[in-house]
Structure formats: C-alpha cells, structure tokens
Chain A
Amino acid sequence: MAALNQDSAIRTGSTAKVLIYLLLLLFAFFYLLPLFVMGVNSVKPLSEITGGNMMALPQVWTFEPWRQAWSEAQVGVQATGLKPYFWNSIKMVVPAVFISTILGALNGYVLTKWRFRGDTILFGLMLFACFIPFQIVLIPMARMLGLFGLAGTTWGLVLVHVVYGIGFTTLYYRNYYAAFPTELVRAAQIDGAGFFQIFWRIMLPSSGPITVVSVIWQFTNIWNDFLFGASFADFSSQPMTVALNNLVQSSTGVKEYNVHFAGAILAALPTLLVYIVAGRFFVRGLMAGSVKG
C-alpha cells in the first residue's frame, strides 16, 4: 500500500514531475533569451556583431560599449552619452513616486477613517484616473503645463505623473486601510493625537507592505513612461526612455548595436533593481488585506 502523501492534494508521479520541470526550464530559457542576447552583444566589439552570430559568446571581451553608452554616445546635439538623461529620469521619478505615494496614503486614510458624505462616489471618480488612456490628455495637459509655466521642465513631468499616479496609489491605500481597525484610530483620538499625528505615527508605520507595492508600481510606470517624456520634456529635461529612443533611432552613421544594447540595459537597470530588492514584498503587499492572518 502506498504511503499517504499529505503535502499535496494532487499526487504526481515522478514522470509527471520531470515533465513539469522540463516545461518550466524551457519557458525560463525562452524568457531569458533576449536578456542573454542583450548582455552578450553589449560586451562585444561591433565587428563581431556585424560579422558573426548574435548568439555567440564574445571572442574579445570589452566594456567599451557600456562606457560609450553611458558617457560618450551622440544622443542629442552633444556627445554626452545617456548619463545626463539618466539623472533627468532620477530627478523626475523620485519626487513623483514620493509625492504620489504620500498623497495616495493620505487619500486612503481620509476615505476610510474620516468618512464623509459622498466619499464612495469620490473614490469611484478617482478610480477613473486608472482607466483614462494617456493620449486623451496630451493636449489639455500641454495647455495646463503652459499655464503653470512648467512646460518643458522636470517639475512639469513630476506634476503629470503625480496626477496620473494618484488614482492607483489611492486605490492601494484605501483598500489596505479599509482592513485597518478603526478602533486604533479611536484609541489614538482619545490619547489626544490629531489628524496628522495619527497618520504619521500610527497609519504610515503600519503600511509597509502596501507602500512597497505603491513604490514599485509607481517607479516602474514613471521610469518606463515614454509618451509624456517625449511630449512634455525639452532637451534639458528629457528622461532616459526618450534618450534611449534618440540613441537607437539616430539615422546618421553606423548603427552601433553593441552600444544600443548596453544603453537599453542601462535604461532597464533601475526597475530591475527595484524588483529584485523589493519584489518579495510586492506579492506580500498585494495579498495583504485580502486574507486575514
């Protein structure tokens, strides 16, 4: 008689197990292939790419393409590499993520713990922000930025991304705080804490998981945004995505694929890093509130 296996409800034979792992390996290989191609070709001299095989390992290892992509490639008028645009992106992403997350937390706090007439309707309206396609707001937004005197500036982009992000961050925090015991807020009120003291001292310190979700979501979306960057930024404030496009699409001279590959990896690096560092909290945060315990 076979021993009862209590670990899994469905019993799988060893052949099935091998098959499942083979399939998983195949998919992993498939999904990692582009990254492999990018990585391998970014450390080859250009002649090896044009003269040979995209899949082959480099015969001569060189980090020259990376150096060029970072600080020498011709992106705009001057040969600056991607470096200044990388900093443009950082200068745009950090405040935009910070402001939209804080505002979302504040909204969620008010919508669940300081309820007022029509709060659900207001929340419903805010959710529309998650569904409006970017293209629709391009022209009105350009007009608004012009009126505010923010056209072509990094702060203009920050404003656009904050406005677009509030819908999502409010959704996250509202749902998270809905499961947060109201008795805690009442206890704090009796203890003499005011509106903002309750927020800073009690609500925010207990919001770790959902803050990770909000930060990852906002960071990747804003970092990867191309449309707003291309539409509202000028040469001095263009983000990384636009610069990468300009680098790759330049129609003069020889196409330096190795430099393009290195540039593309550079552009994707920050989001990759955020996922690797905070990824496990991401799933935990998404699960929070949905399951008690």
Chain B
Amino acid sequence: MGFLEISNASKSYGLVEVLHNVDISVGEGEFLVLVGPSGCGKSTLLNMIAGLEDITSGEIRLKGNLMNGVHPSRRNIAMVFQSYALYPNMTVAKNITFGLEMHRVPKPERQAAMQEVAELLQIGELLDRKPAQLSGGQRQRVAMGRALVRKPDVFLFDEPLSNLDAKLRVDMRTEIKKLHQNLGTTIVYVTHDQIEAMTLSTRIAVMHEGFVQQLGTPKEIYDTPANLFVATFMGSPSMNLVPVTIGVDAAAVYAETSDSFGEIVRLAIQDADADLKSMSGKTVTMGIRPEALTDKDGVDHRSALIESCASAVGVTEPAGSDTFVTTTFGGAECVARMRADTDAAPGEVIEFAFNMEKAVFFDPASGIRIG
C-alpha cells in the first residue's frame, strides 16, 4: 500500500460528476505531478487530498489512515497556493510560525523551526517584512517556508509557479526540485504546464475531463502515451499525428502514407505486435515526436530503424537551439526538429528521416494506443 492512497475517489457537485473513480497510489518520497488543461479536475483532486473539498465517494488514505472527513489541519499536510496566500497583516516570521502557533507548539521551538527554514530558503533578512513588501519570488519562498516549517507528511502545491515571470519560474522550478532531492518529502504538485510536469516529477498523472488518462513516469508518458489526448498534450511542439495504412508483407510490417506530392511512402515498423498486425489494411494514426523526425544528419545514431523519404518544406521556424521545419505527410502538417544550422529552406525538397523506433500508433476511432 502506498504512502498516499487515493482509491476510487469521485467528486460531484449536485448531479454533475467532475472526478470519476480516480485511483492513484503515491509512494513515500515520490513527486507526483497532476497535469491537465483547465477544468480537468486536478485542483479539485488536490483540494480533496488537503481536505478543503469533501470526497463524494471512494477513499483517501495517508500512511494507511482513512482521511475522509478529517479536518485539513489534522492531516499533517501543507499546501502552497497559487496566490501564495500569505497573511497580509503578519510579518514573514509570523506567517511562517502561525501554523505552529495554532498547533500549540511552544515559542522557543517555533523560533528554532523558523530559523532553520529561513536558513534553508535564504529568507533570513526578510523575516520582519510584510508580504506586501516582497517580490514575487520572495513571496514564493515564504509560502514554501510556511509549508516546510510544519514538517508535514505530504506537500501539496497548487500551480505555485504560474504567477512568476518566465525566468523566475525556471529558477524556482530548479529550486523546488533541489528541495525535493534534499528533503526527500512526498509531494503532490498541480500544474497545467507540461514542461514543469516533465522536469519535476518522478511520476505524472495526466488528467482530462475528470479522468486520469495516464499515470506513469515522465518517460513512459512521453514515449508511450496511452491515448491521443496524452500524446498531444505532453510535449512541445506536440506530437505529429500522421494517418497511415498498416500493411503486412510476409514477416515485415509497414505503414503507408504519402509525402507532400501525394506519392506513396512506405515506412517499415520494427517489432510490430499482434494488435498492430491485426489492423492490416486499416488506417490508423501514427504518432511521431518532432525530435524523431529530422534531417538525415540529425538522426539518432543509436536507433536501429531509420526510414527516410523526401518531402517539400513548408515553413522553417528557427528557435535558436533548433530549427522547426514543417512539411506534410498523409495530408497532415508535421513539424520536424532539425539542427539549428540546417540548410532546409521553404519550398525546397529535402530528405526527412523517421526514427521508427519512437513511432507509436493509435486507433483513430477510440484514440487509444495500439499495442
């Protein structure tokens, strides 16, 4: 049994069910990220773990103890809010120790705990200031300090970085990751930013319309998305989706599509399983990440199966570290990630290389991955 066990949890507002039978088990020291577009139920789930929202049916257990109906302050959790929610009338020091005071911790212990946290987060010189006198990044630190000082079993983060500017967000991201590595605490983190999810988590739960679409390590989610939603939501630019027809020729399995001129292109598929073979003659959706679709010089040399074909370049988008090149396969617009100094130019016909090891296939009707 996990450290934090969510089993069959549902949430309804009146007749509207917003979370459907969520099952997630979080181990001690794990960093679980709940990610999804707005309205997918991720914040509701976090609030249910915190005890700020009731659970309509199902169970939430923390260290084996049933948490349904337990008051937030008795769950031994701490939460960092999107707006930081620092008490405006109290100094930073008061903000940090308020929770301890409410739990009747004696004053010397409160001071000691606060000093420890202040040192850890380097906010020692801010202790006498009011929240209004702090910058966004400083408020963020104080909010984390307030959570840390209680030494909770689980940290809950509700989109803590979305109010910061782009540069600070990246810095704080690294800092949160360091904090997790140093302290080894269990964290549940809500975000709508898939890059945050990928970089921070040990495991990700991708949510959509109140369902957990996929639960797995960042690599699993990225390389083998469970369905079309996960495939397109995670990754930027998002995964290319090419309609292909599966063909089986003796032992070989291949996917047939067309290049930008409508010429048939045949791409070999490695280690196709029975499910994919059974789709022979049918049209499926092939998913291929932009970095698995490159020019011939940029291919992954460790890949066992590279297929290449010529196609016309639509537009090129230099992004500094890479250049994104668009073309069409099977009538669908595709983005290829090429070296920064690629000589691809709009209108030119160049060779595109498919890293077929990384290709995944989806049933176009249900959207579920085949195999």
Q: Within the assembled complex, what's the spacing in Å between the Cα atoms of A186 and B77?
A: 13
Q: Report yes or no: A187 in contact with B81, Cβ–Cβ below 8 A.
A: yes
Cβ of B177 within 8 Å of any chain A Cβ, yes or no, is no
Question: For the complex, is A192 an interface residue (Cβ under 8 Å from B)?
Answer: yes
Interface membership of B99, Cβ < 8 A: yes
What residues of B have a CB within 8 angstroms of the CB of A205 in the complex?
89
Q: How far is the CA of A197 from the CA of B81 in the complex (A)?
A: 20
Other-chain residue from B79, B88, B89 in contact with A190 (beta carbon distance below 8 A):
B79
* Closest A-B pairs by Cβ, 7 of them: A192-B73, A191-B99, A192-B102, A205-B89, A187-B85, A183-B85, A183-B81
Q: In the assembled complex, how far is the CB of residue A19 from the closest CB belonging to chain B, in whole angstroms?
A: 43
> Is residue B63 contacting chain A, with contact meaning CB distance below 8 A?
no
- A192 adjacent to B99 (CB under 8 Å): yes
Known: A189-B52, A190-B77, A192-B99. A183 touches B89 (CB 8 A): no
What are the interface flags for B79-101 relative to A under an 8 Å C-beta threshold, 1 for contact and 0 otherwise?
10111010111000000001100
* Count, chain A residues at interface, CB 8 A: 16
In the complex, 16 of the A-B residue pairs with CB atoms within 8 angstroms, ordered by the A residue number, are: A181-B83, A184-B85, A184-B88, A186-B50, A186-B79, A186-B85, A187-B79, A189-B71, A189-B73, A190-B50, A191-B73, A193-B73, A193-B102, A202-B89, A206-B88, A206-B89
B83 / chain A contacts, CB cutoff of 8 Å: 181, 183
Is there a chain B Cβ closer than 8 Å to A188's Cβ? yes
Known contacts A190-B79, A191-B73; 15 additional CB pairs below 8 A are A183-B83, A184-B85, A186-B50, A186-B79, A186-B81, A188-B87, A189-B52, A189-B71, A190-B50, A190-B51, A190-B99, A192-B102, A192-B103, A193-B98, A201-B87
Complexed CA–CA distance, A201 and B89 (Å) = 9
Find out whether the CB atom of A191 lies under 8 angstroms from the CB atom of B85.
Answer: no
Instruction: Answer whether residue B72 sits at the interface, using C-beta atoms and an 8 A cutoff.
Output: yes
Q: Please measure, in the bound complex, the distance between the C-alpha atom of A183 and the C-alpha atom of B83, giving whole angstroms.
A: 8
How far is the CB of A220 from the nearest CB of chain B, in Å? Answer: 27
- Is B87's CB under 8 angstroms from A183's CB? no
Complex Cα spacing A264 to B201, Å: 74
Q: How far is the CA of A193 from the CA of B51 in the complex (A)?
A: 14
Binding site for A on B (CB under 8 A): 50-52, 71-73, 77-79, 81-83, 85, 87-89, 98-99, 102-103, 146
**What DSSP secondary structure best describes chain A's contact surface?**
helix
A188 CA / B73 CA spacing, docked (Å): 9
Query: What are the interface flags for A204-218 relative to B under an 8 Å C-beta threshold, 1 for contact and 0 otherwise?
Result: 011000000000000
Q: Which residues of B contact A201 (CB under 8 A)?
A: 87, 98
With both chains docked as a complex, state the minimum distance between the C-beta of A46 and any C-beta of chain B, in angstroms. Answer: 55
Cα of A201 to Cα of B90 in the assembled complex, Å: 9
- In the bound complex, residues from chain B placing their C-beta under 8 Å from that of A206 are 88-89
Residues of B within 8 A of A184 (CB): 85, 87-88
What's the nearest-Cβ distance from chain A to residue B315, in Å?
41
Alpha-carbon separation in the docked complex, A191 to B146 (Å): 9
Query: In the complex, which of the residues A188, A190, A193 contacts B78, with contact meaning CB atoms closer than 8 Å?
Result: A190
Which chain A residues lie closer than 8 Å to B50 at the CB level? 186, 190
A209 → chain B, closest Cβ, in Å?
Answer: 13
**CA A113 – CA B308 in complex, angstroms?**
62
- Asked if A202 contacts B87 (CB within 8 A), the reply is yes
Q: Which residue of B lies closest to A182 (CB)?
A: B85
Looking at the complex, which one of B82, B88, B102 makes contact with A197 (CB distance below 8 Å)? B102
Cα distance, A183 to B87, chains bound together (Å): 10
- In the complex, A278→B146 CA distance in Å? 36
Give chain A residues whose Cβ lies under 8 Å from the Cβ of B71: 189
A187, B95: Cα distance in complex, Å: 11
Most buried by A among B78, B81, B87, B99: B87
Q: Give the complex CA separation of A205 and B130 in angstroms.
A: 13
- Report the separation of the CA atoms of residues A191 and B52 in the bound assembly, to the nearest whole angstrom: 12
CB-CB under 8 A for A190 and B87, given A183-B81, A183-B82:
no
How many angstroms from the CA of A83 to the CA of B237 in the assembled complex? 81
CA of A181 to CA of B79, assembled, Å: 15
Residue ID in chain A nearest B99 by CB atoms: A191
A191 partner, pick from B51, B88, B89, B102, beta carbons under 8 A: B102
B85 touches A189 (CB 8 A): no
Complex-state Cα separation, A205 to B103, whole angstroms: 21
Question: Smallest CB-CB separation from A189: which chain B residue?
Answer: B72
CB nearest to A186 among chain B residues: B52
Assembly CA distance A189 to B52 (angstroms): 8
C-alpha spacing A197/B99, complex, angstroms: 12
How far is it, in angstroms, between the C-alpha of A191 and the C-alpha of B81 when the chains are bound?
Answer: 13
CB contacts (< 8 Å) of B81 on chain A: these are 183, 186-187
Q: Which residue of A lies closest to B74 (CB)?
A: A192
Q: How far is the CA of A167 from the CA of B33 in the complex (A)?
A: 47
Residues of A near B52 (CB, < 8 A) are 186, 189-190
Set of chain A residues within 8 Å of B79, measured between Cβ atoms: 186-187, 190
Min CB–CB distance B56 → chain A (angstroms)? 17
Q: Which residues of A contact B78 (CB under 8 A)?
A: 190
Least CB distance from A114 to B in Å reads 13
A181 touches B85 (CB 8 A): yes
Considering the complex, give the chain A residue whose CB is closest to the CB of B104.
Answer: A192
* Assembly CA distance A197 to B98 (angstroms): 11
Question: What is the CB-to-nearest-CB distance from B12 to chain A, in angstroms, rounded to a whole number?
Answer: 16
Chain B residues within 8 Å of A192, by CB: 73, 99, 102-103
Inter-chain contact A190/B72, CB cutoff 8 Å:
yes
Residues of A within 8 A of B146 (CB): 187, 191
In the complex, A189 Cα to B98 Cα: how many Å?
11
Docked Cα-Cα span, A186 to B88, in Å, equals: 14
How many angstroms from the CA of A34 to the CA of B182 in the assembled complex? 75
Residues of B close to A181: CB separation below 8 A = 83, 85
Q: How far is the CB of A110 from chain B (nearest CB, A)?
A: 18
Chain B: which residue is nearest A191 at the CB level?
Answer: B99
- Give complex CA distance A181, B83 in Å: 9
Min CB–CB distance B44 → chain A (angstroms): 13
On chain A, the residues within 8 Å of B99 by CB distance are 190-192
